[in-house]
Chain A
Amino acid sequence: EPEVTQTPSHQVTQMGQEVILRCVPISNHLYFYWYRQILGQKVEFLVSFYNNEISEKSEIFDDQFSVERPDGSNFTLKIRSTKLEDSAMYFCASRWDISGNTIYFGEGSWLTVV
């Protein structure tokens, strides 16, 4: 079965440092998402991306966050200056279209800010 792949699986970073989380969505998918899950809490939407631009972003996705699709395969989430409260599992997801097909999630990148 096709899958969304994410790297790194775990990253520890100092507060204030920049972090880039990488995702390779399923190859023919057109819609891409980042979600995050703070330990023990629910899954929260960060941003959606379609046709090389952000479709929607949540209040969490402030100026410290950015996304990019630098080539035909990668989809990245950058956090410019990490805070302690950014510690969470970050999930990338993709889907073929928005007519109700399954949204596939990657294995996640666990970010720990110290």
Chain B
Amino acid sequence: ELKVEQNPLFLSMQEGKNYTIYCNYSTTSDRLYWYRQDPGKSLESLFVLLSNGAVKQEGRLMASLDTKARLSTLHITAAVHDLSATYFCAVDIMEYGNKLVFGAGTILRVKS
């Protein structure tokens, strides 16, 4: 069974600080997605990582993928309050019918 584990599950940080969310998965895949979810809202696509070593950046967020280590990271630089949300990673695997398998999510609270 494919497992996708995120940590931490809850992150409270001060504005201006940096932090990293980790996403480990248990089988080979070279496609990983990061989504943001605000309370009661849908899933907003942040990054699509399609190969080993892929790195993408958007504003204060940067995502990377290491397929050999089966690890993706979402790095937050100089956090601001607007980044408060739940962040999910999701692994896309052909052998699993091309569905996304989600991690449990990381609740991020940025305190001013």
Contacts and interface: CB of A to CB of B under 8 A. Distances in A.
Partners in one complex: yes
Interface of A: 31, 33, 35, 41-45, 48, 55-56, 91, 98, 100-108, 110
Interface in B1-46: 31, 33, 35, 40-43, 45
Interface of B: 31, 33, 35, 40-43, 45, 48, 50, 88, 90, 92, 94, 96-105
A78 to B, nearest CB: 20
B105 A98 contact: no
B105 A42 contact: yes
A41 B101 CA distance: 13
B12 to A, nearest CB: 17
B101 A98 contact: no
Contacts of B96: 56
A108 B37 CA distance: 12
A42 B102 contact: yes
Contact of B98 (A42, A55, A102, A110): A55
22 contacts: A41-B104, A42-B104, A42-B105, A43-B102, A45-B99, A45-B102, A48-B97, A48-B98, A48-B99, A91-B43, A98-B94, A100-B31, A100-B92, A101-B48, A102-B48, A103-B33, A103-B45, A103-B100, A105-B45, A107-B42, A108-B41, A110-B40
